[in-house]
Chain A
Amino acid sequence: GAVVSQHPSRVICKSGTSVKIECRSLDFQATTMFWYRQFPKQSLMLMATSNEGSKATYEQGVEKDKFLINHASLTLSTLTVTSAHPEDSSFYICSANLGTSYEQYFGPGTRLTVT
């Protein structure tokens, strides 16, 4: 199947710093990518839809100035958590749709811990 990668897989940062997470579609072009957040033992929560060459669409309740999304190319979207706080600690997962079937493929996730 299609491959989506994320980098880094784990990151620990201090409160107040910013962290960037990369999401890449390795063998296909993705005009749309999605960013999710997952708390322990809970399902995925969609944060935003990232569109190549345009502004991301954020879900209700997600602070766009805190979670900056950039989708500069058809294979790369980035999520920057600005001025991170311990409550931002979570598992962040990106995904992308493949082709006209709109089958969604997910990256392996990034575990963010803010101390």
Chain B
Amino acid sequence: KQEVTQIPAALSVPEGENLVLNCSFTDSAIYNLQWFRQDPGKGLTSLLLIQSSQREQTSGRLNASLDKSSGRSTLYIAASQPGDSATYLCAVRTGANSKLTFGKGITLSVRP
């Protein structure tokens, strides 16, 4: 059974800092991995999708990496801003069109 872990559960950093959010999963046989952002009381916004054959994806100040063999993914946020404050969720899919398995998320607070 796939399990996804995100540690720590919460993180507070000053504005401008570069930061890394970690995600680990127990079964390396994944189809793809997706990072999401969730603001309080809102749905999830897809940030980055990494297919199993890829090592990283970039979008603006965000970079996500994937190391399947070690069961890890990281989300790198450059030059953090207060508007980046949200909960970041990592989710893996083990097969095409199969369900996503979510981590519990990391609640990020960027202090002005």
Contacts and interface: CB of A to CB of B under 8 A. Distances in A.
B62 interface: no
The listed residue with most B CB atoms (<10 A of its CB), out of A100, A101, A107, is: A101
Nearest to A31: B97
Nearest to A100: B96
A37 to B, nearest CB: 12
A34 B98 CA distance: 10
Contacts of B96: 100, 102
A32 B97 contact: yes
A46 B4 CA distance: 14
Contacts, number: 54
Interface in B19-40: 31-32, 34, 36
A27 B79 CA distance: 33
B30 to A, nearest CB: 11
A93 B44 contact: yes
A46 B99 contact: yes
Given A101-B49, A101-B51, A49 B43 contact: no
Nearest to B105: A43
Contact of A107 (B36, B43, B89, B102): B43
Contact of A106 (B32, B44, B105): B44
B32 A43 contact: no
Contact of B32 (A42, A102, A109): A102
Interface in B69-112: 89, 91, 93, 96-97, 99-100, 102-105
